[in-house]
Amino acid sequence: MPPLIWIDGQYSDKANARVSVFDHGLLYGDGVFEGIRVYNRRIFRLAQHLDRLYASAKGVWIDIPLSKDAMTRLVEEAVRKSGLEDAYIRLLVTRGVGDLGLDPRKCPKPSIICIVDTIALWPADRYEKGLVALTAPTPISHRESLSPRIKSLNYLSHILAKVEGIAAGVDEVIMLDAGGYVAEASGMNLFAVSNGTLKTPPAYAGILRGVTRDAVIELAREATYAVEEVPLNRYDLYTADEMFLTGTAAEIVAVIKLDGRVIGSGAPGPATKELSKRFRALATRDD
């Protein structure tokens, strides 16, 4: 089934969807977005995603021209019209159409785009066997230049890191911050499991605080795992019993080798499997 696209009040198909070449989202990456999952026609944690979208917009001085309630209705309607049982939503707010200068005041109205489609980051066997990763030479952007809590349209540093992984022939990359501490993957949060304790970089360390990350922390505590939000270095990952990534598009996927070091047994571990099962149950339940 083809994707469904809504742009500033008009529905389009993929072949006919258009944005202006003067939109500052295109010219400068000036905008914010969310990726949201649909399971069995049920939108997973839409309220949390919209809270983050509106907070991101406020952080970059964009006034979204729809209330949260109206945005909720828009997304729900787009999902219904798409006819997809399981889907991936990309919701964007750009600065809007302006001139070729940087001044955001020249953009009188932000643009809203909602895409309902499907997504698959890796083949199904990667979820069964786990990913091979390397530490990318390119670090994440410095947190004082742009807050990592803002989910902006500019992902160039993460794309460059992804290119380094592609060139090396691995599935995924792990990015460090300017101090050499572990931050996140190219578009996902990261967990290491050691002696039954889940460890993940803290939100203040330069990471995007993921909606799936928060859900996994909740599920882990319900399952009586200890959870620590602490700074991690590569040694902590190399010597972990398990390592996995979380994200809206990725869901939960194990990393079984990093920088040539086998992680744990070299296969997805019991905590990863249990939390994946619990997450699937949470995401697909009918409440």
* Residue 249, pLDDT above cutoff 60: yes
Supply the mean pLDDT for the chain: 96
Q: What is the pLDDT of residue 59?
A: 96
Strand locations in the chain (E) = 4-7, 10-12, 31-39, 42-43, 87-94, 111-117, 131-135, 172-176, 182-185, 189-194, 197-200, 226-229, 242-247, 251-258, 261-262
Closest CA to 164 of 180, 183, 186: 186
Q: What is the pLDDT of residue 148?
A: 86
The letter for the amino acid at 33 is F
Fold of 4-117: D-amino Acid Aminotransferase; Chain A, domain 1 (3.30.470)
* Residue 287, pLDDT above cutoff 70: no
pLDDT (tens digit per residue) in 149-199: 899 999 999 999 999 999 999 999 999 998 999 999 999 999 999 999 999
Which range is least confidently modeled, 64-73, 197-206, 247-256?
A: 197-206
Span 2-14, average pLDDT: 95
Q: Which sequence spans correspond to the domains of the chain?
A: 4-117, 124-284
Q: What is the pLDDT of residue 264?
A: 98
Model confidence at 43, pLDDT cuts 50, 70, 90, reads very high
* Residue 143, pLDDT above cutoff 80: no
Span 82-102, average pLDDT: 98
Q: What is the pLDDT of residue 2?
A: 80
Which range is least confidently modeled, 17-26, 31-40, 123-132, 145-154?
A: 145-154
Provide the token pair at 173: 């990359």
Span 248-258, average pLDDT: 97
**CATH node for 124-284:** 3.20.10.10
* Residue 206, pLDDT above cutoff 80: no
Task: Check: CB of residue 150 under 8 Å from CB of residue 101.
Answer: no
Write out the catalytic residue numbers.
151
* Residue 26, pLDDT above cutoff 80: yes
Exposure string for 225-239, b = 16+ CB within 10 A, e = fewer? bebebeebebebbee
Q: What is the pLDDT of residue 56?
A: 97
- pTM, 2 dp: 0.95
Model confidence at 203, pLDDT cuts 50, 70, 90, reads confident
Task: Check: CB of residue 242 under 8 Å from CB of residue 269.
Answer: yes
